Amino acid sequence: MKNKRREFLTNVCPSVALAFVGVTLLEACSSGSEDTVDSGGSGGGNSTTNGYTVSGNTVVIDLNHSAFSSLGSNGWMNFTAQKMLLLKIDSSTYRAFTNSCPHAGNRNAWSYSTSEDKFKCSAHSNSYPTDCSTSGTAGGALKCFTSSYSGGKLTVTS
């Protein structure tokens, strides 16, 4: 009986402990300051639950949906479910960019400076202008997507 208990503890307990600690470590790595909308793993959005729909390479976002409220209040958000940075220029103009850093491909380490009109990837402190053409401090310019706004809906085509 003692050997079976030892075998159980040796084989099972480290995996269970790692599973609990791993989840905690992953949560600890999140800054909590970025706004994200997750698709729930479906690969596509459902307008009634997530506030957006996907058709091919086009995403239609309902800006009145609560999942996108921070875009109105903060002026930008990291839309991780569709790998985009969204930026509000004015009440009817928006820009959309890839959220893949041109330098190293990081997607979740973004902030935005209104005074500089630049996105900053905090992974390596590189910054990127929002004019869709000017290179940032490393790796080139952020890739821009075509976007249009009408009737509370933002349509982005990558």
Tokens of 108: 């979740």
CA–CA distance from 3 to each of 12, 14, 15, 97 (Å)?
A: 14, 17, 19, 58
**Rounded distance, CA 156 to CA 16, Å?**
42
| pLDDT tens digits for range 19-76 | 443 433 333 333 333 444 544 434 455 555 899 999 999 999 999 999 999 998 899 9
Kindly write down the DSSP assignment for every residue of 13-48, as one continuous string: HHHHHHHHHHHHHHHHH--S-S-----TTSSS--TT
CA 7, chain centre distance (Å): 43
pLDDT of residue 72: 87
- Domain residues of the chain, as ranges? 1-30, 34-157
Q: What is the pTM for the complete model shown?
A: 0.71
Neighbours of 39 (CB within 10 A): 17
According to CATH, what is the number of the domain 34-157? 2.102.10.10
